[in-house]
Amino acid sequence: MLNLHYLQKSNIGVDQGLEWDTELKAYAQKLEDAAKALVARKDLESEYLGWMDLPYDTETLEGVRQVAAQFEHFTDLIVLGIGGSSLGGITILSALQHPYHNLKSDRDGLRVHFVDNVDGDVISGLLEVLDPKTTVVNVISKSGTTTETMSAYLACKVWLEAALGAEFTGRIVATTDPKKGILRPLAEKVGYPTLSVPPSVGGRFSVFTAVGLLPAVLGKIDVEGLLRGAARAQDEFLEPAAKNPHLQAALALHLYGLRGKNMVVFMPYSSRLRFLADWFAQLWAESLGKAVDKNGSEVHSGTTPVKTLGTTDQHSQVQLYREGPNDKLFIFVKVQNTGKNTPIPNAEPDQPDMNYLEGKTFGTLMNAELAATANALADAQKPSFMWTLERVDGENLGYLMQSLMLQTAVVGELLGINAFDQPGVELGKVLTYALMGRPGYEKLAAELEAAGVKA
Ligand code: PA5
């Protein structure tokens, strides 16, 4: 089982001057200490490390299943959330449901629609095509205040109430902090079913809380497999650095950041994993982009995540990646076996420039393109490493997601920053409240007006 995933490091040292084995030996103790320090703090609520326990948390899953049971005969689920309150669910559903689940007539599991923007066309368009009588809405906001999510909630509430009258209260599930924010007391007052985001888990680390699990359960995803895979990554976390893929990946990410690779290009070669790149980008950027370190010294840390998809983006970005500035580290994700292993037929036997594909599968072609790109980049001294998943299933996805969270946390430790806050995002939220006239923000609104800032 341990061989399901491995970190292929053959291209890690192609950048001149980096001796991978020497660096790994030199950093081993530091990496192991960082892992131990993180685990030692995980029970302190204020450290936001509660996500390390989630893979083993059967009680939360049981609670989610109880709520989900009321809606299993529905057709559609609308998920309202943004950032950490939506990207995990989007990643899981797009990776593990049938690629055209929503178009299938014999589908098992609800159609899940994520609303993660305040685009009126998209919101009203969705409500136009769905039937409120067979739709459940899950409003997710840890803080219970985020403008984008609250505005979409208001639109959905009116839509449900207009169709169902007082019964609408049974059709909105609120997932939020157990105590803080306005969503919790509102939900309790109106009588919405509720689920909790634990206070010790930050938004972008919340995929294995009710935030990701309710959409997954209603979409009939193998959630036990997801958690089993995540637990396996977590179980490996305190292994010695020499055989610990999570610490080794963190080291590669850290070292190349120090060596001027200002960008991390995350490139899965699988359309099912397209949104894993989006989820990783948020996790990485919000966790590591910090103005000050834990001592308050100005550091402006962080490398920029770039989300891409192989092979599609070979035809838009690889020219730059190979011949442009050598300022990037590449992370590839390879899938050994695609679900159906679909063969490429020989439909043009007289065309030698096409019939060489006969007998090959789309999966073989995908992986040939990945090998070609990784080698072409290595040839141009561009460093990369690769995660290989035996297949895209719950267990492998859970493993990789937990691993990426662990890697991000370790890099935060090595940088000496707090990877679990997001002061830069909070300021934007507060300024939006002021611009939109939220009570309590009048002074800031006046300052913005004086400075000529308008909505
Ligand atoms: O990771 C984070 O903390 C953020 O991306 C949040 O998830 C995002 O801002 C949404 O916040 P909330 O769940 O409070 O609405």
User: Does some domain include residue 390?
Assistant: yes
Say what angle helices 120-129 and 147-164 make with each other, to 10 degrees.
30
Rounded distance between C-alpha atoms, residue 441 and residue 348, angstroms: 68
* pLDDT tens for the 455 residues of the chain, in order: 222 233 455 566 555 567 888 899 999 999 999 999 999 999 999 999 999 999 999 999 999 999 999 999 999 999 999 999 999 999 999 999 999 999 999 999 999 999 999 999 999 999 999 999 999 999 999 999 999 999 999 999 999 999 999 999 999 999 999 999 999 999 999 999 999 999 999 999 999 999 999 999 999 999 999 999 999 999 999 999 999 999 999 999 999 999 999 999 999 999 999 999 999 999 999 999 999 999 999 999 999 999 999 999 999 999 999 999 999 999 999 999 887 788 888 888 888 888 888 889 999 999 999 999 988 888 888 888 899 999 999 999 999 999 999 999 999 999 999 999 988 888 888 888 888 888 888 998 898 889 888 88
User: Does some domain include residue 399?
Assistant: yes
Say yes or no: 101 and 132 in one domain.
yes
Say yes or no: 190 and 237 in one domain.
no
Say yes or no: 169 and 283 in one domain.
no
Under DSSP, the state recorded for 342 is P
Say yes or no: 241 and 131 in one domain.
no
Say yes or no: 313 and 348 in one domain.
yes
In the chain, the number of structural domains is 2
C-beta 175 within 6 A of ligand 1: no
Task: Determine contact, residues 77/113, Cβ cutoff 8 Å.
Answer: yes
Q: What is the CATH number of the domain that holds 69?
A: 3.40.50.10490
Pairing outcome for strands 384-389 and 6-8? antiparallel
Ligand 1 midpoint to CA 8 (Å): 33
Query: Domain range holding 156?
Result: 50-221
- Atom 15 of ligand 1, residue of closest alpha carbon: 141
Say yes or no: 68 and 34 in one domain.
no
C-beta 141 within 6 A of ligand 1: yes
C-beta 143 within 6 A of ligand 1: yes
Say yes or no: 332 and 365 in one domain.
yes
Ligand 1 midpoint to CA 111 (Å): 24
SS (H, E, C) 74-121: CCEEEEECCHHHCHHHHHHHHHHCCCCHHHCCCCCCCEEEEECCCCHH
Ligand 1 midpoint to CA 83 (Å): 5
Ligand 1 midpoint to CA 206 (Å): 10
Instruction: Spot the catalytic one: 148, 286, 395, 413.
Output: 286
User: Does some domain include residue 12?
Assistant: yes
Which residue has 């913005």 as its token pair? 448
Locate 451 and state its tokens. Answer: 């400075």
Say yes or no: 66 and 208 in one domain.
yes
Is 413 a known active-site residue?
Answer: no
Is 25 a known active-site residue?
Answer: no
3-class secondary-structure state, position 277: helix
Rounded distance between C-alpha atoms, residue 80 and residue 89, angstroms: 11
- Atom 8 of ligand 1, residue of closest alpha carbon: 83
Is 286 a known active-site residue?
Answer: yes
Ligand 1: residue of 138, 142, 201 to mutate (most ligand atoms within 8 A of CB) is 142
Rounded distance between C-alpha atoms, residue 388 and residue 393, angstroms: 13
**Cβ neighbours of residue 382 under 8 Å, at least 6 residues apart?**
14, 15, 321, 322, 326, 328, 330
Say yes or no: 252 and 354 in one domain.
yes
3-class secondary-structure state, position 340: coil
